[in-house]
Amino acid sequence: MIRKRRRSTRRIHSVGRMMVIGRVRVSILAGFALANGSCGGPTADVQEPEMGAVVVTQWNDSTELFLEYPHPVAGQQTGNWAIHLSDMEDFQPIRSGRLTVTFTSEENQVETFVVEAPARDGIFLLDPLVREGGDYRVELSLASPQVNSLHVLSRVSVSSTLEEAFAVEDVEDDGGIAFLKEQQWVIPFALELVAEHEVQQTVPVPGEIVPPDGALVQVSALVDGIAPADKNRNAPSVGEPVREGQVLVVLAPTAQEGSFAQARGRVEGLLVEVQRSERLFEAGAIPRRRLEDARHDLEVARAELDAMGGSTDGDYSLSLRA
């Protein structure tokens, strides 16, 4: 659908498969000076008649067209057609490409105009000179690296004279809020036709993700400790799946009685003691029983450390695994 306008604000309507937006476009000087008989006498104020504009918004599967142009007059250039084209994939402006505009009359007379590139991102400018008045079918064919597209205006009226163009009845503005394509293109924004859809009723409620019965496994730390933030940045979150053996949390054990640090320190101390006893036994300085006692104490200490899930490798952090 096409609307003709004269007022200066823009509005948006949804009409079937087309949105209609209106605002002022062209003012053509048709006044003249009136002088009285004396030289230098006062001149009468003559109001400049305004020529209305036609605005169209149309969608196809590839592009959105917003077109704004003054009423065409046969044999005259009445001002630029501002042809705004947006890519429907991301609603960004068409930044390059060739636009071919074809006027076909009811008598199948064809006039073609070509715009080689956008004047600026998204906007092609054209001031066509159509030789004969009447109703035309207008095709706007875009060939662009972004997308190829065709928009068809089924009826564009070309006035035979300026007087006829000025006499075209305009639609009054209803006070809508202007939101230009140039403003839409610089923000995340998209347009969609109003349509009826099935909407599922929803009610927001608080909830908690829990495992099914019999699938909950609790992994407890056998020692007290602190979970340093820098060592647990990649720790799994609540509800995230984990695999067997995956590190769940890294603890820095405290220095309390029976702590991991003490157990590891005892293992390291007994390991040194066993190595020392082996050297003394080889030198004949101690009996075999003393060496065997040292080895036994080391095995017990290692078993306690293994039960905590720790080892003597690396730092004194304890990794708790699934």
pLDDT, tens digit, for every residue of 43-79?
Answer: 545 555 566 788 898 999 999 999 999 889 999 988 8
Within this chain, do residues 177 and 240 fall inside the same structural domain, yes or no?
no
Mean pLDDT of the chain: 79
Within this chain, do residues 141 and 8 fall inside the same structural domain, yes or no?
yes
| Cα-trace Rg, the chain | 42
Residue 189 lies in a domain: no
pLDDT at 32 over 60: no
Within this chain, do residues 267 and 149 fall inside the same structural domain, yes or no?
no
Q: Which of 27-36, 41-50, 132-141, 254-263 has the highest mean pLDDT?
A: 132-141
Output the pLDDT for position 19.
Answer: 41
More confident residue, 92 or 47: 92
Tokens of 43: 């001149």
Output the pLDDT for position 262.
Answer: 75
Output the pLDDT for position 175.
Answer: 65
Boundary-marking domain end, from 129, 158, 184: 184
Residue 10 lies in a domain: yes
More confident residue, 37 or 127: 127
More confident residue, 282 or 264: 282
Within this chain, do residues 167 and 251 fall inside the same structural domain, yes or no?
no
Output the pLDDT for position 321.
Answer: 77
More confident residue, 309 or 122: 122
Burial class (CB in 10 A: 0-12, 13-18, 19+), 239: exposed
Within this chain, do residues 131 and 249 fall inside the same structural domain, yes or no?
no
Boundary-marking domain end, from 154, 184, 214: 184
Residue 198 lies in a domain: no
From CA 195, how far away is CA 39, in angstroms rounded?
67
Residue 213 lies in a domain: no
Residue-wise pLDDT for 96-135, tens only, equals 999 999 999 999 999 999 999 999 999 999 999 999 999 9
Domain that holds residue 134: 3-28+47-184
Within this chain, do residues 72 and 144 fall inside the same structural domain, yes or no?
yes
pLDDT at 273 over 60: yes
**Per-residue pLDDT averaged across 76-102, rounded?**
93
Output the pLDDT for position 259.
Answer: 65
Biggest alpha carbon–alpha carbon distance for the chain: 144
**Per-residue pLDDT averaged across 256-270, rounded?**
74
Residue 86 lies in a domain: yes
pLDDT at 270 over 50: yes
Burial class (CB in 10 A: 0-12, 13-18, 19+), 191: middle
pLDDT at 1 over 50: no
> What's the Cα-to-Cα distance from 254 to each of 269, 285, 304, 307, rounded to whole Å?
19, 39, 17, 17
Within this chain, do residues 15 and 83 fall inside the same structural domain, yes or no?
yes
> What's the Cα-to-Cα distance from 54 to each of 73, 235, 281, rounded to whole Å?
13, 62, 108
Within this chain, do residues 148 and 14 fall inside the same structural domain, yes or no?
yes
pLDDT at 247 over 70: yes
Residue 274 lies in a domain: yes
pTM for this prediction: 0.50
More confident residue, 215 or 280: 280
**Pairing outcome for strands 81-87 and 123-126:** antiparallel
Count of domains forming the chain: 2
Within this chain, do residues 137 and 10 fall inside the same structural domain, yes or no?
yes
More confident residue, 312 or 187: 187
Within this chain, do residues 152 and 18 fall inside the same structural domain, yes or no?
yes
Residue-wise pLDDT for 156-211, tens only, equals 999 998 888 887 766 656 667 888 899 999 998 887 778 898 888 888 999 887 87
Within this chain, do residues 107 and 15 fall inside the same structural domain, yes or no?
yes
Within this chain, do residues 11 and 136 fall inside the same structural domain, yes or no?
yes
Residue 272 lies in a domain: yes
Boundary-marking domain end, from 184, 208, 233: 184
Output the pLDDT for position 27.
Answer: 39
Residue 211 lies in a domain: no
